[in-house]
Structure 1
Amino acid sequence: MIIVTGGAGFIGSNIVKELNRRGRTDILIVDDLKDGQNYKNLRGLQFIDYQHKDDFMQSIENDDFDGTDIDAVFHEGACSDTMEYDVNFMMRVNYEYSKSLLHFCLQHRIPFLYASSASTYGSGKHGFREGDECEDALNPYAFSKLAFDRYVRQVMPEAKSQIVGLKYFNVYGPQEHHKGKMASIFYQLYNQINESGKVRLFKGWGDINGTPVKDGEQRRDFVYVKDVVNVNLWFWENKGKSGIYNCGTGQAHTYNEVAKAVIAAMGKGEISYREFPEVLKGKYQNYTEADTTKLLAAGYDEGFHEMGDAVKEYVEFLDNGGYFAYGK
């Protein structure tokens, strides 16, 4: 059996779908369906069982999985809202829960692959290399992820089973409808064009390495969700070395480039700009770009989609309903 927490979410459901494509359906999905929307991501997936995240943790505490053959745990479940400022809540959901699941996997020697985040690099002014010298946190979400990464680094030297943390950069692709305001810029722009014929990007604010940011010139490392899934499964299937790795393309693109790619894929639309929100000032990453040196040194050699090709595929997917089809 394979366990995928956050299996009804964006990245988790994509991991399940690829596992299905590779012939695995003996999957336990763990999630919380209370928002009334993410259940739709499950309709196109094949899995053996579902548990609410709290019931799942109770099952672990009760040793209900004792004797169960578990091949891997992909821990994608988390509160990913960067505008959530209840730090106690964030630490319970993203830190304490992750610790409990980690120790369950260590006890039973189960490969544990989990979602970290590029938000752990703060403003990015110190670079994007895995390690304390570059890391910081601008909001409670980032802090909860950073705290867990640091905890993992402490226990990893004594671990007898695989532990892999992946610092996801800006992920986009199928099955992100339910994320609302936290969905990728690609999904937001697709909807904006269909609604008004225009995309709305932020005007410039702040700087990148001392150079003022012009309108729409914020730069991010955008990574297609299929590539994120491939990195996860590569580490597991190839018994990749334990560690915490960046999961990004290593090439930043501007929001203007993103908008032009979406417009080209849809065959319509134009760019407009709006004022940079006051609430985001001092809490926003104007620039991210993964340093992929460690990832490549680990042996990952499957590459990443070109953004233009990925956007065309994603737009076609959205045009055709935007959800996975069962058994296909």
Structure 2
Amino acid sequence: MIIVTGGVGFIGSNLVHELNRAGHKDILVVDNLAPAPNLSGPKFLNLEGAEFADYMDKREFREAVKSGAIDGSKVRAILHQGACSNTLEDDGRYMMDNNFTHSKELLHFALEHKIPFVYASTAAVYGASTSFTEIPVNERPLNVYGYSKLVFDNYVRRLIPEIKSTVVGLRYFNVYGQREQHKGRMASVMHHFTKQLKDTGTIRMFEGSGGYANGEQRRDFVFVGDLARINMFFSGLLPGQSGPRDVRAIVNAGTGQARTFKAVAEALMRVHGPGKIEYIPFPGDLKNRYQHFTEADVRGLRAAGYEDSFTTLEQGVEQTFPASQA
């Protein structure tokens, strides 16, 4: 059995579909489908057409892990995508319980049974930094979301010398792709720009900020399909892999090439048709919370053994919005 936490969410559901394409169907999907004010639509639609063996609510799953009700000998890998990923959430106690305590519980279950454990970290740990190598001097989170993820990364770092099985933290950069329609404000700029273009013919982006000119703020945009394959690689689940090799690392999961928001708009217009760009004032509630530039240092990822190339921005936009849906 393969456990995918957060398996109904954006990245988790794409991972389930990618696992299916690789022939894996013995999957336990874990998530929380309770109503939430930050959601703009139902998450369950993300698993339309997916095949999996079982589903558990997050609370039920946590209790089952604590009580020993899950037979670890039957678990092939744990792909831990579940988290509170709302970067504007200010409830630190809630965030730490979801992103730190729950992750610790699951990590120790994996270590006890020597189960490959691949988990979602985030580039938000770098926050105000402009250097993105995985070392403490660069880790300066701007919100409690990034802080909660960094605390868990540091917890893993302290344990690495004692760990005998695979434990890999993936610091996701700016992820985009299909199945993020439910994320509301937290959806990628591809999703927001597309809606604006289709509704009004105009894409709105921020005026110059953080030392960058209008629309020239730059992010490392990474296609969700690439992240699914990275998860599968480190857990030994890619087609043709004989099994996982023990890797213990916290690495960046990004393309290593930052692109401007203007470039995103241009790629979308090639798919959806022409439109205009309008520059709007930078929102006050994002002041001191916003990363104007991100670009993954991928040397750690390559050193850990992942060698595949990444989907380009233009290719990823075309895959996100195929011609039948553009």
Give the TM-score category using the shorter length: over 0.9
- Amino acid of the structure 2 residue aligned with 1:70: V
Instruction: Check the 8 A contact 2:66/2:105 in 1, yes or no.
Output: no
Q: Quick one: which amino acid aligns to residue 231 of structure 1?
A: I
Alpha-carbon separation, structure 2, partners of 1:124 and 1:228: 23
Letter aligned with residue 112 of structure 2: Q
Contact 1:163 1:242 in 2 (8 A): yes
Change (3 A) 1:181 1:74: same
TM-score normalised per structure 1: 0.93
- In the other structure, the counterpart of 2:204 is 200
For residues 173-322 of structure 1, what are the structure 2 equivalents within 5 Å?
173-207=177-211, 213-237=212-236, 238-239=244-245, 241-316=247-322, 319=325
**Unaligned stretches of 5+ in structure 2?**
36-40, 237-243
Q: Which amino acid aligns with 2:226?
A: D
Query: Where do residues 153-168 of structure 1 align in structure 2 (5 Å cutoff)?
Result: 153-168=157-172
Q: Which amino acid aligns with 1:224?
A: F
Residue 144 (structure 2) pairs with residue 140 (structure 1) = yes
AA matched with 1:23 = G
Cα shift readout 1:227-280 (whole Å, capped 9, x = no counterpart) = 111111111224262100000000000101111111111122221110000111
What is the distance in 2 between the residues matched to 1:151 and 1:309? 37
- In 2, the alpha carbon distance for the partners of 1:306 and 1:77 equals 26
Greater shift, 291-300 or 184-193, is seen at 291-300
What fraction of aligned residue pairs are identical, expressed as a percent?
A: 47
Deviation at 1:103, TM superposition (A): 0.6
Measured against aligned partners, the alpha-carbon deviations of 1:192-222 in whole angstroms (never above 9, x if no partner) come to 1111011000011222xxxxx1111110000
- Residue 234 of structure 1 aligns to a residue whose secondary structure is helix
Displacement, 1:65? 1.4
Q: Please tell me whether the aligned partners of residues 190 and 315 of structure 1 are also in contact (alpha carbons under 8 angstroms).
A: no
Q: How many residues end up aligned between the 2 structures? A: 314
* TM-score normalized by the length of structure 2: 0.94
Cα drift, residue 318 of structure 1: 7.8
RMSD over aligned Cα, in angstroms? 1.3
C-alpha deviation, 1:170, in angstroms? 0.2
Structure 1: runs of 5+ lacking an equivalent: 208-212, 321-328
Q: Is 2:36 the partner of 1:32?
A: no
Partner of 1:169: 173
- The 2-side partners of 1:94 and 1:161 are apart by 22
The equivalent of 2:63 in structure 1 is 58
**Alignment partner for residue 149 of structure 1, among 131, 149, 153?**
153
